[in-house]
Amino acid sequence: MIKFTLNGKTEETNAPATTRLLDLLRDDFELIGTKEGCGEGECGACSVFVNNLLQNSCLIPIGSIAGAEIQTIEGILETKKFKILDESYSDAGGVQCGYCIPGMIMASAALLSKNPHPSKAEIREGISGNLCRCTGYNMIVDAINQAAKKGDGIW
Amino acid sequence: MSLKDISTSVPKKDHSGKVSGQLPYISDVKVENMVYGVLVRSQVAYGKIISIQLPNLPEGYEAVGAEDIPGPNFVKIIKEDQPIFANEWVNYIGEPILMLVGKDLNILYSLLKEVKVIIEEHQAIYTLDEAIKQKSAAGVIMASYEFGESLETVSAIEQGAHQIIEEEYDTGYQEHVYLEPQGMLAIYKDDEIEVQGSMQCLYYIKNALLSALACGDDEVRVVQSPTGGGFGGKEEFPSMMACHVAVAARAVKKSVMLVFDRSEDMVVTTKRHPAKLNYRTALDKVGNILSLSVEIFLDGGANVGLSSVVLQRALINSAGVYKIPHFHAKGYVLKTNTVPNGAFRGFGAPQSFAGIESHLGHLSKLANIEPLEYKRKYLVKQGDPTITKGIFRDPILVEDMIEDLLKTSEYKKKKQEFQRFNQQNLRYKKGIGTSLFLHGCGFTGSGERDHIKATVKLVKSKDGIVMLKISNSDMGQGILTTLCKIVAKELDLPYEDVLYPYPDTKVVPDSGPTVASRTTMIVGKLLERAAKKLKAQWQSGVDQEVVEHYVHREMIPWDEKTFTGDAYPAYSWGVNFVELEVDTLTGNVKLEKVYGNYEVGKVIDDRIMKGQIDGGLAQGLAYGYLEKMTSKQGKIQQKSISDYGPPTSLDVVPIESKVFDNPYADGPYGAKGAGELTLIGGAPAVQAAIEDALHTTFQQIPITPEVIIESLWMKEGEEG
Ligand code: FES
Ligand code: FES
């Protein structure tokens, strides 16, 4: 049995240790906000926080998460930080098909917690592991830039 | 929120569900008694199936194949040449042969490995070049058209010409890489199969199901799920998946889910047609064009699918935005034993524009005239005939759009700066390139009148909420928002009171597929008219319903046989400037600045339009230098996103764009199509900029680092 914390709650699972964290979250915990775009660590749609670090959950076997703290998009929905990102993505028009977006939000939050005042170049760098096929990224970069300003002090 | 100017942006209807990740896409859905499906596919490019040997299937696992199809075994598209499950012959690697269904995907994948299909291999055609050589063999030409000035006239002109320039130009595959892989679910009920999934065209799917299941109209139902990007990739391909899951659901009497992983999606789904374009141009002494003949070959892959229609658009755009004296064109779709190619944003136009812009750029060098200046000499004007003997009826603002960009980008000054930079730098070279382009809005010819016959419905409830009942799909382009805006504004209702739920064929009429830059212009206009009608009969406190049907504005009638007439009711226009730097040591290209001016009639939502510009350009630019897909012996070589290389946030640069107003009488609030236009100018502008930087010419896209290095080597060799 593997024990871990998921969105602040202690959880456990009997799934095989080789199960992908992505599948555990989606199938066993019905957390659909974590998406699968490639299954190979190349698109970032499956981004989650493991011990506060941004990770691709499709690459993580659950054997390695014993005792870890996992946070998915669902775990941040009620936070002020999410609210600011939500508004900024709306104002900047950063959302089209939406499939990359939960992962982008996680990447945005990770970036801003590390670097609350990023330059545009640093924003590009920060989301470079997250693929978006719809937007051409510029409006997402704007959204993160806005969020940095609006949320000054909370990141 | 009430709407003053239609272009003013509003929050998107689907924003919250998407940003929170709680809006369920098809792979997020689970229904009771659901099993998964996996497909047994051909590993052979062309051959005859001799035998199929299945492993012992555990309880609850079943195989479904051609014998389970109640109706005829083909996916109804245009021609009946695409089997649902291969019968006897396989025509490409990846062609579905049968489906295994059962509860556990891991078990299904291991069973899949144990299926033994013996195929007697036959000689296949793997490439477009081979197909061109074997063009006269039976079945190789899947479609062809020819039009323009007679060849006698053209050759008479060629005889008097100062010189004849011939160029051959190649374009590669392009993969959609919609971020959500294809997925389809058939929900089994005793009296109905309901198919849900990621899709652009509900009624294409419904018609394919009616044929495959040979059932009554009320026995199938198609519901769109939130769709994670389409770009044409979810135009015709989902019809096949829908047939697979629906046939399987019928056979096993359970709900069946089929979701591709990325590598399966990349290997077996449709792509942009690789093309070869031949140009033959007669010039006078100073480099003026006297005549131009174009020949286009599209690699259709193993089935014709939509390729004939893609070819039509490629041909109609084969002269670009130019008025060319004495123009002749012909084109072919050729069969190869490779994965069938299909719809992709631009639909044949990106290949043609890449080719013609490249060719005119090269001609300008011969004439010793600055490329943009040379192209402007040939720009079409309002009232000019099109190459198919139609007319450009509406005002054309391209000259103003160019002038504006020359100013904003400080073109002349930049050119000088770059020249100086290039003289001082051995390794890095900078260049500027431009492209001029258009996109015909809506279906080609009389498609709207003869095939689509769109109908829209508005339903108003007692409490004054109005619902859009149409069959169009929001796949990220924002029509849930823009179409609601049109109706809200027309009815003077708050935007929040107009709703557009994901369409379901049980309750929406066929307003046509979500393709061809038609949704805003055609469906939007019908909705505008419906709203006007509803407004006129509006009664508070009662339920009301209005319906509107497509009315064709007769122009010069389109004749597909002679390829003449007005190919489109209206055109949208664009101009791109691209500045970039080439590293001559590695061949890497770094974009520095991208500009776009567009004219799409009237913008329905500024922010959404900007999203279309940025996203379309990112795809179009990458088509020119970044994205490369190849097939070898009939096998797609790029099976992962990073093998293929779509742009990341580090590849794209800020895009400075502007949209010019030029309201179109038959579009809602004057709007025309916008979604495809934005992709088209990217690749040709990138090519021109790389050529400008390196003082060389290319006859192909994508211009990858390898292509650049090779051309530099050749140049060095020539210069000795
Ligand atoms: S699904 Fe994990 S990185 Fe793409
Ligand atoms: S919004 Fe579609 S992939 Fe990013």
For chain B, how are helix, strand and coil distributed in percent, rounded to 5?
35, 25, 40
**Helical segments of B317-427, H only:** 349-367, 371-378, 398-408, 411-424
- Can A2-75 and A80-150 be said to share one CATH topology? no
ipTM of the complex: 0.98
pLDDT tens track for B392-444: 999 999 999 999 999 999 999 999 999 999 999 999 999 999 999 999 999 98
Tell me what the mean pLDDT of segment B587-595 comes to: 98
Percent of chain B at pLDDT > 90 equals 96
Sheet containing strand B116-121, strands side by side: B89-90, B47-53, B116-121
Termini Cα distance of chain A: 35
Q: Could A131 and B646 be called an inter-chain contact, meaning their C-beta atoms sit closer than 8 Å?
A: yes
CATH topology of domain B15-22+447-549: Aldehyde Oxidoreductase; domain 4 (3.30.365)
pLDDT digits (tens, 9 = 90+) for B184-231: 999 999 999 999 999 999 999 999 999 999 999 999 999 999 999 999
Q: Write down the residue that tokens 């510009």 correspond to.
A: B613
Q: How far is CA B470 from CA B199, B418, B444, B502, in A?
A: 14, 51, 21, 9
What average pLDDT does this structure show over B485-505?
98
Report residue B553's pLDDT band, with 50, 70 and 90 as the boundaries: confident
Chain B residue nearest residue A122, CA to CA? B650
The whole-angstrom separation of Cα A61 and Cα A45 is 17
Q: Assess whether the region B15-22+447-549 and the region B31-123+176-268 belong to the same CATH fold.
A: yes
Radius of gyration of chain A (CA): 15
Q: Is A12 on the interface with B (CB under 8 A)?
A: no
Each residue's pLDDT expressed in tens, for chain A with a length of 155 residues = 999 999 999 999 999 999 999 999 999 999 999 999 999 999 999 999 999 999 999 999 999 999 999 999 999 999 999 999 999 999 999 999 999 999 999 999 999 999 999 999 999 999 999 999 999 999 999 999 999 999 999 99
Residue to substitute from B19, B593, B619, B641, interface A, most A β-carbons within 10 A: B19
| pLDDT recorded at residue B87 | 87
Put simply, the chain A residues between 37 and 56 with a CB less than 8 A from any chain B CB are: 37-40, 42-43, 45
Q: Mark yes or no for CB contact B642/A33 under 8 Å.
A: no
Cα–Cα distances (Å) from B65 to B243, B302, B574, in that order, read 11, 20, 48
Mark yes or no for CB contact B229/A99 under 8 Å.
yes
Average pLDDT rounded to a whole number, residues B476-493: 98
Taking the centre of ligand 1 as the mean of its atom positions, its distance from the CA of residue A20, in whole angstroms, is 11
Closest alpha carbon to B534 in B523, B549, B524, B544? B544
A54: Cβ below 6 Å to ligand 1?
no
Architecture of domain A80-150: Orthogonal Bundle (1.10)
In angstroms, the CA B247 to CA B244 distance is: 5
Ligand 2 binding pocket (C-beta < 6 A) is A 95-101, 132-135; B 179, 229, 476
The CATH number of the domain covering residues in B31-123+176-268: 3.30.365.10
Cα–ligand 1 centroid distance for A59 (angstroms): 8
Asked if the Cβ–Cβ distance from B231 to A133 is below 8 Å, we say: yes
Residues of A in contact with B617 (CB under 8 A): 136
Residue B720 binned pLDDT confidence (cut-offs 50, 70, 90):
low
The span from the CA of B34 to the CA of B605, in Å, is 40
To the nearest 10 degrees (0 to 180), the angle between helices B682-694 and B349-367 is 30
Query: For residue B85, what are its two tokens?
Result: 């499950």
The CA distance from B623 to the nearest CA of chain A, in Å, is: 13
**What is the per-residue pLDDT across B617-670, written as a single tens digit (0 to 9) for each?**
999 999 999 999 999 999 999 999 999 999 999 999 999 999 999 999 999 999
Residue-range domain boundaries for chain A = 2-75, 80-150
Q: Is A55 helix (H, G, I), strand (E, B) or coil?
A: strand
**What is the atom index within ligand 2 of the atom nearest the CA of B18?**
1
The two tokens of residue B543 are 């339920």
Q: List pLDDT tens digits, range B8-26.
A: 999 999 999 999 999 999 9
What's the Cα-to-Cα distance from A22 to each of B16, B182, B233, rounded to whole Å?
Answer: 22, 18, 26
CA distances from B447 to A90, B64, B151, B450, B479 (A): 37, 36, 29, 5, 22
Locate B164 and state its tokens.
């004849």
H-state helical runs in B105-168: 105-114, 128-133, 151-159
Architecture of domain B346-441+566-719: 2-Layer Sandwich (3.30)
Residue B3 has pLDDT above 90, yes or no: no
Cα gap B387→B406, rounded to integer Å: 28
User: By the CB < 8 Å criterion, does B590 face chain A?
Assistant: no
Domain ranges, ordered by start, for chain B: 15-22+447-549, 31-123+176-268, 346-441+566-719
For residue B717, name the pLDDT band (cuts at 50, 70, 90): confident
User: What pLDDT, on the 0 to 100 scale, is given for residue B78?
Assistant: 87
Give residue B116's pLDDT band: very low, low, confident or very high (50, 70, 90): very high
Check if B18 contacts A (Cβ < 8 Å): yes
**Taking the model in full, what pTM does it have?**
0.98
Residue B580 pLDDT exceeds 90: yes
pLDDT at B151 over 80: yes
Parallel/antiparallel/unpaired status of strands B192-197 and B220-224: parallel
Q: Which residue has the higher pLDDT, B1 or B119?
A: B119
The ligand 1 atom nearest the CA atom of A41: 3
Sheet holding B428-441, edge to edge: B428-441, B570-583, B589-599, B655-660
Using the atom order of ligand 1, give the atom closest to the CA of residue A36.
1
Q: Which fold has domain A2-75?
A: Ubiquitin-like (UB roll) (3.10.20)
Vertex A112: Cα angle to A39 and A83 (nearest 5): 85
Pairwise CA distance, residues B693 & B431, whole Å: 4
CB nearest A133 (choices: B11, B19, B178): B178
What is residue B4's predicted lDDT score, i.e. its pLDDT? 77
For chain B, what is the mean pLDDT?
97
What is the A42 CA–ligand 1 centroid distance (Å)? Answer: 5
Say whether pLDDT at B716 is over 90.
no
Contact of A98 with chain B, judged by CB distance below 8 Å, is answered with yes
Residue whose token pair is 């190619």: B341
- A32 in reach of chain B (CB within 8 A): yes
A140 near B CB under 8 A: yes
Candidate of A20, A23, A34, A43 to mutate for ligand 1, largest count of ligand atoms within 8 Å of Cβ: A43
Whether ligand 1 lies within 6 angstroms of the CB of A106 is answered as: no
pLDDT of B1 > 70? The answer is: no
**Dist. CA B139 → ligand 2 center (Å):** 40
